Amino acid sequence: MLRLTWLIPALPLLGFVLLALFGKRLGNPFAGWVGTFFATGSFVAAVLVFAGLYQAGGERNFEQHLFTWLPAGDFSVDIGFLVDPLSATMILFVTGIAALIHLYSIGYMHHDENFPKFFAYLNLFVFSMLMLVLGNNLLLTFLGWEGVGACSYFLISFWFQKEANASAGKKAFITNRVGDWGFMVAIFVVFLKFGSLNYSVILPAAGGLARTTATFIAVMLFVGACGKSAQIPLYIWLPDAMAGPTPVSALIHAATMVTAGVYLMVRCNAFIAASAEWVSWLIAAVGCLTAFVAAMVGTSQYDIKKVLAYSTVSQLGYMFLAVGSGAYVAAIFHMITHAFFKACLFLGSGSVIHGMGDEQDMRFMGRLQRFLPITSATFIVAWLAIAGVPPFSGFWSKDEILEFAYLKSPILGFLGLVTALITAYYMTRQVTMVFWAPARWGEHAVREEVALAPAAVVAAGEGEEADAEAAAAAEVPAGEVVTLVNGLPVEGHEAVVDPHFHPHESGPEMTIPLIVLAVLAVFGGFLNLPFTHGTEFLASWLEPAVRLGYPGGLEPEGPSPLLKVLFAAMSTLVAAAGIAYARSVFKDGDRAKAARFEPALLQDAWRYDRAVTAFMGGPGRRIFDGLAWFDRTVVDGAVNGTGVLIRSVGRGARRIQSGYVRSYALGVAVGAVVVVVLMAVRVLSF
Amino acid sequence: MADLSAAYLGLSAALFAIGALGLIRRRNPLVMIMCVELMLNAVNLTFVTFGNMLNDAAGQAIVFFVLVVAAAEVVVGLGIIVALARRKPGLSADDMNVLRG
Amino acid sequence: MSSLAAVLAQAAPGLTAGPAAAAPTPTITVPDIEWTALLPILVLGLGAVLLLTLTSLARGTVTRSGYAIYTVLVATGAMATAAPLWGRVHAWDHLGKWELSPPYGPFSAVAGAIGVDGFSVFITLLIGVAVILGALLADDYLRREGIDGPEYYVLLLLSATGGVIMAMANDLIVLFLGLETLSIAVYVLAAIHLKRVQSQEAGLKYFVLGGFSSAFFLYGVAMVYGATGSTNLVQIKDLLAVKVPTHNALLLIGLGLMLVGLGFKVAAVPFHSWSPDVYDGAPSPVAAFMASGVKAAGFAGLTRAFLLGFGQFASDWQPVLYFLAAASMLVGAIVGITQTNVKRALAYSSINHAGFMLMALQAASPKGVTGLLFYLATYTFMTVGSFGIATLAGRTGDGHHDLADYRGFSRTNPALAGLFVLFLLGQSGFPLTSGFVAKFGSIAAAVDAGSWHLAVIGMVSAAISAFIYLRIIVAMYMAESDTEAAEKAPKAARIKVPFGAGLALVACALATIGFGILPNGLNRVAGEAEPVLVKEPVPAAASGADGAGLTGLDLTTIPTTPTTR
């Protein structure tokens, strides 16, 4: 059955080719079913391969070599796949969730004119992701890495009519370039050191590297992982990436692609083990800080998807914290449970947005439980999972990370625990605002028209509540009449002010994936129960793949039973506290009261994004302009200046503009002189 | 007599430089073509001189090839200039700056 | 040695009146001529002349598509005559059922003026491909622009003749003749669009600067001649093997000047300034040929002259090539990203590519040559594809090349936009396209040769140049604003893809993907296409005139003895 491995990526690729060529002819919704079929087929193949690997026993390491791709003398890069417990686990949940989200998209995208294209991209994405996970060498992983980046870029910009989406796509592309650079350098150094890129060669040999080299490689890999997995300081693209269609957010920007960085770190844990001590500290610190910072931002966002986006960044931070603490199994464990509950949350939010007629602002929601029963039930389950309520899946995986973080350093453990509190708080805030608080749409809409005089703007500037107004007011010239609904600017919310509007539940293509994911979010934790070694299924399964990352090849001492119990109790307490407090603040839908808990600094995401944008628009831009100026003025000037000298004094220093044959001829002549001088220097040096 | 070869080489280098500078400095396309011709003929002189110094006929023979090439170049160059001049009488090389940047 | 003049007369039958022109003198022996070696040159050159003759005799009876078909057939014929040479070079007994004639292995012909080896056959085939693609692209273009007559095709075939001569040249003067045959035809091609002032401006600029740089090249040849006493690469190499010139200033300066001429042809910085203007102004199919065929010929010349003839001096010319490669890669990438005209942007990208190829060449190793040939082959398809899209997108008048003109291109012409994305990704070195493998090979060769910094510069420039392509892609996939959409009539926005151009584009796309996923075959062929200098077996009559009697010119002791004449 292991020989079927090549089918896993081949099926989505075939789906992509078919959809790209005949998508238009297949039409809506048939193209969606074709895409779903290939994604599901890939899942089935993944299950078979998984079963085959399970039966194989022993080292559980299978390589399938398809053909040689880059032959270069003594070194060659193969197109080949590596199936080991780690990649088998990854392909299983990647294909599974992908299949569900394909199904969901049939419903979600049904009104979209580019429906077939969307599924073509989705299939291409699944293919790239599987290449990333299955590749048996770093270059193939990099290829998939670039592929998922490109697909993400395409899918974010999918609705490219919206300028914001196009620019978000660009931001994702450029930020990821920074990360890719790190990855590329790492690949290069690995190649230089080993003359090979195959995991089966480089990972066992990593222990023999000089410490500084291993450190350099690990740091560069970490830079790459930071870009892809949205860690500080490269996280800015992910929240913006939510401008894309919601299924894309669920699949790419929550469940799969953004976890590629974590996968890379776990895959290459041998390099971390061989590097200096501070690297693991760096990873843990960055992860912990990202988790905390992003969670704080999540407490003050109004956009239902933005909250989830920052929550994703925060949860990814947890995974890096786990990697830095040497808890690779916990990182993968959390990656899986997170994929379940976060995909469920995103898809649920998509269902809400869909039911609300494309409304994303949580302030215009409320009491949706009555109208969207299935969505709300699944959303609530996923909420309990992410908030860390036992026995839902998130509790188990997060707890394991916190214990290891505590062992690494009590500070990290403590900060992780605080983040858990904030997580419970902001998720409860979201659930309350969306499903339970008094409804603020439809008949509850109170229209008022306000004439904004300059004085009114000043008045509005007082108090946090008025901040949004002030922001809106700043964009309209003073004195204009602005319509406010429920005390908020109406712009973009026309759809919900209709008093006859009623939210509606989504169709079965959308609810079935929700239910499946919700069930997984409940029971996902049973993959790795911390009671005895016998119940740590995932840990014993992954052991061969992560062994190299342990110092000396021995699994480090885990948390003691006492610590486990202690942390379980504390997490439960923290989760309960967060939930109770958030509920007390937001349950009656009093905006004036709630606004005190949503400071502008956090709404603005610490102003980090704005600062980056300001830099790129200001000084950064000026650097590029400066370079252009340098080329225009100094380089051309040097050429032309030489010309002036040659053309003697009479003419003075008249500028020669470009576009003239003679200045080009001068360029050639100067070049000739340079070349001849370079040659002559060789003669003189004899 | 003794240093005449060196003088020829110097002369041809000077002619070559004059041609190159002329091409850079002048704006009349016809003169520019003449400058290219001057450069080619300077090279011809070099070939002849070296052929003489090396006591080798090839140096002289090459000159004929260069002459043929030069003639072909002039034909093509004049054709292009005529086409341009018809569009714009009194053309100078500096008028040709539609393409730049 | 003194048989050179006769040799030269034979080597370029298109330019001289044939064997009869070489008047026999006491010292000149007429060499045996290996006609099979000359066949590709003859087919292309005579094919061009025949086309010109026939059409002037029977004007109007041939449709313009007929010209294109004829050109494709001639180029195919030239490639077919080159195929048995490949077999001979690699010592095959027969090609299919076709018995090949000895001698097997690489050989020199026409008294050593022409060298037939894997390298020259590879470049010949590549130029043939460029001609075919150029003809296919031009067919509809010429009709659309109302450019009458067969001249385009005649000139295309003639310049290809020059390119093949360069690829086979074992003598610097033959190289010069090939260079000029190639260039003069391309000067006219650039100016062939009489209705566009830009086209003529491009032609004149290219002509003036091309003549300028050719003069430098020739001056370099003269100096090399003076220093070594020969222009024949085989003899020069033999001479240098037995006698290292103690005062090689003349030789090195000559090499430097030759580099100017060849660097100009391949658009290497600092000899690149013409290329953006000329690519911009020249008709788009011509730009496609200049970026593919002409560049291939230029690199063939560089390889033959520097790597083969003066391989011994590699340590001297390597630093200069190093400088040219670094400058080309950086300038091409950095200036390219500021361009707002697609054809200019492609021109700068082509400068960047030239840098990568120079990087492979400066490695001065078999691996470098393999990398160079692979790069040239794959790049030919990518760049012809890109300029092919520009040909179509330029619409009547060939003027719509601004980035703004490409806004919304994906909406109006999704298939063309998709292909363009493929070609641009290929040029940026995106994995699984041929461009990635090509860049990889070039960088690997540089690393192998110890040129670390150059490899790093190459990678940095690749990262920068990605934005050249990204800008075009973004422009194509950006929505057109309503007002702009209303201004343009929908039928003008939609481009009907003519058969010939469509065929060329599909071929380019298949090659770009195919060589990206399965580069092995091409890579092996490129590896077997070694350039070699082989001494021709000395005919009995000419035994007195071989390289042993050569003496280099020592500038410190200029011979003062009177000449024999």
Q: Which of C5-9, C452-456, C478-482 has the lowest mean pLDDT?
A: C5-9
Answer whether residue A377 shows pLDDT above 50.
yes
| A597/C175: higher pLDDT | C175
Least confident of A245-254, A634-643, C28-37, C265-274: A634-643
Share of chain C above pLDDT 90, in %: 43
Residue to test with chain A: of B24, B28, B94, B95, most A Cβ within 10 A:
B24
Residue A65 DSSP code: E
| Residue contact B100–A659, C-beta within 8 A | yes
What is the three-class DSSP state of C10? helix
- At residue A170, the pLDDT reads 64
- Report whether CATH 1.20.1070.10 matches the domain B4-95: no
Instruction: Please tell me which residue, C487 or C144, carries the higher pLDDT value.
Output: C144
Does the pLDDT at position A612 exceed 70? no
C115: its two tokens: 């060298």
As a whole number, mean pLDDT of residues C158-165 equals 96
Q: How many CB atoms lie within 10 A of CB B86?
A: 11
A665:C270 CB<8 A = no
ipTM over 0.90: yes
Structure tokens, A514: 């929700």
Quick one: pLDDT at residue C402?
A: 86
- Please determine, for residue A470, whether its predicted confidence score (pLDDT) is greater than 80: no
Q: What is the pLDDT of residue A591?
A: 65
Q: Show the 3-state SS of A607-661.
A: HHHHHHHHHHHCHHHHHHHHHHHHHHHHHHHHHHHHHHHHCCHHHCCCCCCCCCH
Check CB contact under 8 Å for A680 and C249. Answer: yes
Other CB atoms within 10 A of residue C449 CB: 20
* Nearest CB neighbour to A659, from listed B20, B32, B99: B99
- Angstrom distance (rounded) from CA A626 to CA C338: 12
Q: What is the mean pLDDT of chain A?
A: 77
Give the three-class secondary structure for C115.
Answer: strand
**Which segments within C158-260 are labelled E, that is strand?**
none
- In this structure, of A382-386, A451-455, C409-413, C536-540, the range with the lowest mean pLDDT score is A451-455
Tokens 């004119």 correspond to what residue? A113
Contact of B2 with chain C, judged by CB distance below 8 Å, is answered with yes
Say how far apart CA A285 and CA A321 lie, in whole Å: 7
What is this structure's pTM? 0.73
Q: Per the omega criterion (within 30 degrees of 0), is the bond before A561 cis?
A: no
Compute the nearest-CA separation of A618 from chain B (Å). Answer: 25
Q: Which two tokens stand for residue A593?
A: 């009261």
Which segment, A31-45, A444-458, A480-494, A653-667, is predicted with the most confidence on average? A31-45
**Element of type H or E holding A310:** helix A304-324
Question: How buried is residue A421: exposed, middle or buried, by Cβ count under 10 Å (0-12/13-18/19+)?
Answer: buried
Name the 3-class secondary structure at C363.
coil
Rounded Cα distance, A283 and A328, in Å:
12
Domain extents in chain B: 4-95
* Residue (of A652, A513, A609, A594) closest to A43 by Cα position: A513
CA-CA distance, A323 to B35, in Å (whole number)? Answer: 71
- Rg (Cα) of chain B, in Å, rounded? 17
> For the residues C227-236, what does the mean pLDDT come to?
89
**Structure-block tokens of residue C146:** 């109302």
H-helix segments, C400-519: 409-412, 414-428, 434-448, 452-477, 482-487, 490-493, 499-517
Instruction: Give yes or no for C104 touching B (CB within 8 A).
Output: no
pLDDT of residue C94 exceeding 80, the answer is: no
Residue C350: pLDDT band with limits 50, 70, 90: very high
**Partner residue facing B50 (CB), from C180, C226, C341:** C226
Q: Is B5 an 8 Å CB contact of chain C?
A: yes
| Tens digits of residue pLDDT in B26-83 | 888 889 999 999 999 999 999 999 999 888 888 899 999 999 999 999 999 999 888 8
Write down the pLDDT at residue C155.
Answer: 95
pLDDT in tens, A301-360: 888 888 888 899 999 999 999 998 888 888 999 999 999 999 899 888 888 888 877 777
Rounded average pLDDT over C174-198: 93
Which residue from A minimizes the CA distance to B24? A662
* pLDDT above 70 for C61: no
Q: Would the CB atoms of A665 and B24 count as touching at under 8 Å? A: yes
**Of A375 and C188, more confident:** C188
Contact A676 C474 (CB under 8 A): no
**Residue A634 class from Cβ within 10 Å (0-12 exposed, 13-18 middle, 19+ buried)?**
exposed
Region of poorest pLDDT, from A523-532, C22-31, C320-329: C22-31
Q: Using CA atoms in the order A175, A181, A183, A188, what is the torsion angle rounded to 10 degrees?
A: 170
DSSP character for A478?
Answer: T
Residues of chain C neighbouring A672 (CB-CB closer than 8 A): 216, 256-257, 260, 271
Domain coordinates in residue numbering, chain C: 5-528
As a whole number, the mean pLDDT across chain C is 83
Task: Note the pLDDT of residue C563.
Answer: 38
Q: Report H helices in B26-99.
A: 29-54, 58-87
What's the rounded mean pLDDT across residues A629-643?
Answer: 51
**Average pLDDT estimate for A15-29:** 83
Beta bridge partners of A72: A75
Residue pair A116/A168 in contact (Cβ under 8 Å)? The answer is no
The pLDDT, as a whole number, for residue C303 is 94
Confidence class for position A244, pLDDT limits 50, 70, 90: confident
- Identity of the residue in B43, B55, B98 whose CB atom sits nearest the CB atom of C219: B43
Residue A308 near residue A278 (C-beta atoms within 8 A): no
Out of A616-625, C329-338, C339-348, C514-523, least confident range: A616-625
Region A627-647 average pLDDT: 50
Task: Return the pLDDT at A647.
Answer: 38
C485, pLDDT greater than 70: no
Of C270, C444, C523, Cβ closest to residue A670 = C270
pLDDT the model gives residue A530:
77
